[in-house]
Every structure is written in structure tokens, then in C-alpha cells.
Amino acid sequence: MESMEDPNAYMPGEVEVAEIKQHINEYNRDRPGIYQSCVNMAWLAMAGYAAVVFFIAYVVFQMDDRGRVFGFVAVFVSAGGFWVWRRVWQPLKDHQLSLRYRLFPKVFKFIDGVQYSAGMEPRFLDDLKRLKLASFTSTENDDLISGTYDGMSFALVETKLVTGSGKRRQVHFEGLIFHFKLEKEFPGLLVAAKRNSWWQRSIKEMWRTGPIDDLLSGNRQLDETHDFRSDNHREARALIAGPITSVLTWLGNEWHGGEVSIALSRGDGYLMLPSKQDFFALPDMQHNVHYESDVKPLVREMAMLLAVAHVVRRVG
């Protein structure tokens, strides 16, 4: 299996580095003032909100049916406090987000037509439901980066796939999801996904009505962690026994965030890389940003991720 690309080959040139550092200096110059303004506003806002809460509490305790009203008021007060807290810190969050929009197109200039956005849901996430790669009702999206690298058109998103809300909220996937165009189209659908629990597999076997025609890799360890599905078994078996098994085995050694899932659908490829890591993080808003320690490593992270996607793209 091919090795990772050398990230040093994609480092910005002197002109780009000077421009990046200028943006960083502007951010660092304005950050302390914005931060202090948010702190002052937070004190004023929470003091004012506390006064309102005490007034509401006084009114409620004067009521005869205060027992029934108290629960509703407690929820309203908690939600209101959370909303106020988020609003007072929004200017600082917007300031850091503006830096990301200015920096990332420069930092990732080695990607042709690179585009960056934050908090947007890419359309290809809906494909995951159709391919039965993941079950979710909502998404929580962070960084979204797209472009073309070495002939591979791709989009990459950091996301959480979620069902339910509140106490019933459950995260089914957290990490990176790639969508890219395959070098060679697969005639149908092929999915290699994390296996269901033993209970779900037992139920499936109990209600099976047709003959057993499972797709297996022949690698015992891999068959214990992954299910293989396809609507074209003849073509799928050749890929699973060869390239897919090699790629998943390689990723099992290289990727330590969890079980990787792959899907091929005609000319489209999908790669799910579970991880708790924030790959494109910048320092907390209380701290300055530095090029060498905070920005330069982002190029290494992206070069590594694109190398992984390229390996999967060539399985056909």
C-alpha cells in the first residue's frame, strides 16, 4: 500500500506565508479588545438577566398555583440564560471564523479551486442514508473543505450524525466524511461498513427468508468488524477479495479513530473516518494564533487525509 504524501511539498511559498502571517497579526491585534468587550458585556448581560430572574421568581412565589408554574419558569429561565450567554460571546466567535475564511484558502492553496465554509451541511450527507452507511435524523457540521487535488474532485466535512435530542440525543458517528469521484466507475453499489451488534445480526438471521449469500473478505478479523453489501455480487467479490481488503487492512493500521466505512456507488466514492480529533482547530479564543505551531500543521493534516482518500479512490 502506498505511503503518505510528503506534506512539505505543499507548504505555502514565501509570498503566501507573508500574507498568512499578516492575517494572523491582524487577528491577534484585534482579539484582546474584542475578548475584553465580550467579557464586559457578559458581566452586564448576566447581571441584568439575574435581576430579571429574581423578579420572575418573586412574582411566581406570590401566585397560589406556583407549584405548577415553577417547572415551566425554570425551563424558560435556563433556556433564556443559555441564549444570552451565547449572544454575548458571538462577536468573538465571528472574529475567529473570519480568520478561518481568510486563512484556509491560502493555507490549502495546493488544492485547486479550494473552498471553505463552516457549519454548512453538504448535500452528499443525504446519500449516506440511501447507501445505509449511517442512520441519523440531524447533523452537526463544522469545517467543510472542497476542491480538486491531483485530479480528484472531493468534499470533506467534519461532522456528527445524530438521532434524537435532549436526553434522547445519540451520536451515531463523529469524525470526517469524504465524498470524491472514483478513477474507475463501479457497476453498481458496494458498501463496506462497520458491522451491527450481535443482537441486530441475530434478529436479521432469524427473519432471513432467502438463501445465505453473504459477501466475505476471507480475512477473519475484517469479517468480524465489517459487513459487505452489494447489488452486483459478481463484480463486488473480486474487489472485496483484493483491493477493498487491502485498503481496509491498511486503514486499520494507519487510522486509530475507529472502524472505517467505504462505499462505491457508480462513479462516486464515500469514506467515513471516525475520530474525536478536531483536525482543523485553531487555539481557543482567549489565545493568540501562531503560524508555526497552529497553522503550518494544518497542511500536514490535510496532505495526510488526501493521501488516504486517494488510496480508496483507486480501489476500482
- Say what the pLDDT of residue 162 is: 94
- How many other C-beta atoms can be found within 10 angstroms of the C-beta atom of residue 155? 17
- Say what the pLDDT of residue 176 is: 95
- Residue 36 maps to a domain: yes
Structural domain that includes position 262: 7-313
- Residue 81 maps to a domain: yes
Rounded Cα distance between 71 and 22, Å, is 52
Strand stretches in 103-207, DSSP E = 112-118, 138-149, 152-163, 170-194
Domain count, the chain: 1
- Say what the pLDDT of residue 68 is: 58
- Residue 59 maps to a domain: yes
- Residue 2 maps to a domain: no
| pLDDT mean for each 10 residues of the chain (316 residues) | 58 86 92 88 82 74 61 69 79 87 90 93 90 88 94 94 89 94 90 67 40 70 88 90 88 86 92 91 90 90 87 80
Residue pair 30/287 in contact (Cβ under 8 Å)? The answer is: no
CA distances from 196 to 77, 111, 220, 224, 276 (A): 41, 36, 16, 10, 21
